[in-house]
């Protein structure tokens, strides 16, 4: 039976027009870091072109060698900047730092990743294959909501989240802004894109 982590992990569900306070469990990800405008930076395109070949090589290794099949998870990313206004209100994408993420099951090990990396290399490689790593990430307490629409329309949602919802609920930001891309931007009209917007927080004493 195929495992679908998106259905098993409750925090992969969010509601449009509502902010929820959630506890995100520790998860294991493939990760790759970069800087710059995701629309124009070659590093972003190269990272994306490397992440999914490795993710699918891992899936098929797990299915064939371990007899444990699973659904490859959607793209995710952590975003931050020295001044977070560059991300929320100013939207100066040239100043953004990012980490692309893809959740993998807990039974995947570093040895499995090494084997899958070798498979990708045999098939021609990928531009940032050597930069990809397997890492456990524990976000813990977070707030999240579902944004429906173009990515550039997120700014007012994030501004309200940061400056209205968090103070009103005795919370403050702690970690990096996190987005989960439930839609494939290559096949979905901008106005129909579904994105979970997530922010790690802590309670103000």
Q: At 58, which CATH number? A: 3.20.80.10
Positive/negative CA dihedral, 89, 92, 93, 99: negative
pTM of the model: 0.95
Domain that holds residue 49: 5-203
| Domain total of the chain | 1
Task: Answer yes or no: is pLDDT of 86 > 90.
Answer: no
The neighbour count for residue 4, using CB atoms within 10 Å, is: 12
Place 89 in a pLDDT band, splitting at 50, 70 and 90.
low
**Which of helix, strand or coil describes residue 201?**
strand
Q: What is the pLDDT of residue 94?
A: 86
Q: What confidence tens digit (pLDDT) does each residue in 106-138 have? A: 999 999 999 999 999 999 999 999 999 999 999
Q: What confidence tens digit (pLDDT) does each residue in 2-60 have? A: 999 999 999 999 999 999 999 999 999 999 999 999 999 999 999 999 999 999 999 99
Of the candidates 129, 73, 82, the one whose C-alpha atom is nearest the C-alpha of residue 104 is: 73
CB 110 within 8 A of CB 58: no
**Which of helix, strand or coil describes residue 44?**
helix
Burial of 110 per CB tally in 10 Å (0-12, 13-18, 19+): exposed
Q: What is the pLDDT of residue 205?
A: 77
Higher-pLDDT residue of 163, 84: 163
The neighbour count for residue 55, using CB atoms within 10 Å, is: 19
- Which tokens belong to 187? 């096949």
């Amino acid at each position: 039976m195929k495992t679908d982590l998106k259905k098993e992990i409750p925090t992969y569900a969010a509601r449009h027009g509502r902010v929820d306070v959630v506890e995100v469990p520790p998860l294991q990800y493939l990760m790759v870091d970069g800087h710059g405008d995701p629309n124009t930076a070659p590093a972003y395109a190269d990272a994306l072109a490397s992440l999914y070949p490795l993710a699918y090589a891992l899936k098929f290794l797990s299915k064939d060698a371990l007899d444990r099949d699973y659904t490859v998870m959607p793209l995710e990313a952590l975003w931050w900047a020295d001044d977070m206004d560059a991300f929320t209100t100013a939207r100066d994408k040239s100043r953004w730092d990012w980490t692309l993420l893809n959740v993998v099951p807990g039974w995947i090990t570093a040895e499995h990743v090494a084997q899958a990396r070798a498979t990708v290399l045999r098939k021609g490689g990928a531009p940032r294959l050597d930069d990809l790593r397997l890492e456990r990430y524990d976000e813990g307490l977070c707030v999240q909501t579902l944004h429906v629409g173009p990515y550039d329309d997120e700014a007012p949602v994030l501004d309200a989240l940061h400056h209205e919802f968090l103070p009103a609920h005795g919370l403050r930001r702690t970690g990096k802004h996190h987005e989960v891309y439930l839609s494939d931007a290559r096949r979905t009209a901008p106005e129909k894109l579904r994105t979970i917007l997530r922010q790690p927080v802590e309670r103000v004493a």
